[in-house]
Amino acid sequence: MKLQDLKQLNDASLKDKSIELRKELMGLRFQRVTGQVEKTHQFRVARRTIARIKTLLVQRTKTV
């Protein structure tokens, strides 16, 4: 997801999205271990999106 899209979500939605991405990342790790992963770039995308969400949440708590 783009940063602009994430900024439009509220804190609860961001936390839900983060949990969803962590589950996806865990599934990708299992696929990698079993040799079934096809889209290796998804690891990078998921990790970076999680980092963006965490950054946004911290920024929002500091500005309030």
Report pLDDT digits (tens) over 53-62.
Answer: 999 999 999 9
pLDDT 10s digits, 29-48? 999 999 998 899 999 999 99
Q: State both tokens at 38.
A: 């096809």
| pTM for the full predicted model | 0.89
Question: CA-to-CA distance for 20 and 36, rounded, in angstroms?
Answer: 20
Question: CA-to-CA distance for 31 and 42, rounded, in angstroms?
Answer: 12
Q: What is Dmax (Cα atoms) for the chain?
A: 46
